Structure 1
Amino acid sequence: MSATVHHLRPSDQPSLDPLMALVSADMHRVNEVILARMQSDVPLIPELAGHLIAGGGKRMRPMLTLASARLLDYSGARHHKLAAAVEFIHTATLLHDDVVDMSGLRRGKRTANMIWGNSASVLVGDFLFSRSFELMVEDGSLRVLRILSQASAIIAEGEVNQLTAQRRIDTSEARYLDIIGAKTAALFAAACRIAAVVAERPTAEEEALDAYGRNLGIAFQLVDDAIDYASDGATMGKDAGDDFRDGKVTLPVILAHARGSAIDKTFWQDAMEGRRASDDDLVHAKTLLDRTGAVADTLGRARHYGRLAIDALAGFPGGQAKAALIEAVEFAVARAY
């Protein structure tokens, strides 16, 4: 199966529009909190934070908090500050990730570290983390604080795990799944779960929303890792082939390496260790991925986790919120087609 990205007709393409429409009024309140809390008497802080926050992201994680609250018929306002806290955690990790990865582009724009330098990016990321914890404390729920603080620690562990796995072609699929479960899925899960806490719903509903978010997060990252090899920079909003050149051993590489000949295995080892990083090498890597079905199978796994996410919502009543959350999963998977 070809690694080419297939685009469905627009009428068939799942969209985040239902989710965005569902939470638009609440998201306006969240954006007000974000704007207010990223301010500082130190001008560089709102300037740098604003560059990333206003950089075209879909705000999927805070929207999931708001949509989960709607699913539970929550009528209060606590979720606005908490959704902002979720976005600050996410933004802080992006600032730190771009420094670690030495990234030049994010969402089609120059990264903050390229404009202001690594030190400023790290420190403003720390500021946003601190703001997120202020918002959690203001909420007053130790349970919410525990969920989001644990997620923050797990994200950091995942990033360190990924760093130590970098350029190691012997990275297993199980370790890869541990990495993405921590660095990506943990915040998706927490973003959804805290809605059940503020809505004072039973533990079973907390766990169902956690499972929804976690499986959605894994599917989301699997697709990201697949399209790094099956898309282009204009579509992705970052430099095509970044994972290849950075020696990130993602699932497409793990599968292609496992299925390849001895010559292919040598190529992948050389590539991940930085000895084969030219444009021609990237083309050859895509040929091997295509030949072994590695990208197609990575997307197949993404669909599997997407189905698990949708299944986790089975116990909730139908309606606009549930439909929007289901379509958000379909959108996350369909980005690759």
Structure 2
Amino acid sequence: MPGPDRPRGVDRPKARRNEQLSAFAQRHGALVALVLTVAVASLTFETFATGANLENVALSSAFLAIVALGMTFVIISGGIDLSVGSVFALGGVLAAWGSQHGFLVALLLPLLVCGGFGLINGLLIARTRLAPFIVTLASMLGARGLMLNITDEGNETYLVAEGSFIGELGRGSLLGIALPIWITVGLFAVGGLALRRSRFGQHVYAVGGNEDAASLMGAPVVRTKITVYVLSGLLAGLAGALNAGWLTSGITILGQGMELEAISAVVIGGTLLTGGLGFVSGSLVGVLLLKVIQNIINQIGSLEAAYQQVVSGVFLIVVVVVQTWLARRRRVM
């Protein structure tokens, strides 16, 4: 039977190449799009490639990127977290209020409260097997309600105390680069190592890929789920605290829709919404791509800000369709 075997052998290298191309597109497609977008924008707009504008893009990306980092772990584990926008705003308000009582209160209070919301999410989802969508939607409303209660329905805005170290973290710089950017880079470096090189990261992938199989293999499914939601809450609270330091106040209207931006950035970066596959570096690229597109729309000037949401939505649909097609193609191969 040599005849039938020969075509199969000939097709195997081609199938392997196609699989490698599909994997490359899924992992690095956002980076290619980012490089091309930056190149075109630099040639089209004189002010785009200036140091001030690029730093502005990086700084505006930093806070969303920190939130997206936590979202990456949640989505890879097979979950979703709709509460991060409200938790982000709550963290900013708590940090601004706490700055009146010293740096430790300004930093630890938002981390404890926001991490507590993540812990509640994780316990309800992992222990009672409630749907992450419903649980985190309830937490989103709860965090927003708590923030409004603290600020008298948004009528009171807490200012970061003058000379507070939380303000220095938000507005300070090192080697000419804003501290929030340095903090974001450091967090992503640690997050990338944890996801790819640690046992915890292996458990996150295993739980997102197949929860039952992960349990049979001895992976701590419940603990892993709780941990990723606590991590998401902590990072959202930290991002809110840094943002409050940058703005020198806890603004209550911030964070609305941030959960959708974070999810979009994570998915654009190559993480599958179904879980089991994703990359920390891809999420950072996804955030930068969204912020660069928003900056280009601002550079045009004649387009309304609402177009940012339209572009982001269209981009997300295209990415999800392409991801689904690539995943099916790799399964077929």
- Aligning the two structures, in what range does the TM-score lie when normalised by the shorter sequence? 0.3 to 0.5
- The TM-score, its normalising length taken from structure 2, stands at 0.33
Larger Rg: 2
Q: TM (normalized to structure 1)? A: 0.32
Which structure has more relative contact order (CA 8 Å, sep 6+)? It is 2
